[in-house]
Structure 1
């Protein structure tokens, strides 16, 4: 993932300095999607292992909002 972030940052710097070609724009969009999907996946995994503990000591698993 570090390589993906480094490449996104390199493309962002180049975009500010001189602009990007169509191929670089497509690469940037692809890398951004990979990064976003990774962050979402990590968040979902973390929430699936999260419990709320009530004052009486009972645990309730966090569920998706309906």
Structure 2
């Protein structure tokens, strides 16, 4: 993901200084959609591994999140 962001930034700088070709415009659109897809995927993973606890120490994770977490439980391959 770091390489994608680096290339997006390179193309953004080039767009501001000298402009982009049609191929580079298509590349930056593709890279941005790929970056957003990966970012959203990592956010989903983060949320699926989150438990919300109130100040008293009670689990107050929303039921919708608990159901999603239960669906995502990884089955053992053994």
CA distance in 2, matches of 1:54, 1:5: 36
**What is the root-mean-square deviation of aligned Cα atoms in Å?**
1.6
TM-score with structure 2 setting the length: 0.70
CA distance in 2, matches of 1:27, 1:19: 13
How far off its partner does 1:53 sit?
1.4
Structure with bigger strand share is 1
The unaligned stretches of length 5 or more in structure 1 are none
The unaligned stretches of length 5 or more in structure 2 are 66-78
TM-score with structure 1 setting the length: 0.81
Moved over 2 A (4+): 54-58, 60-64
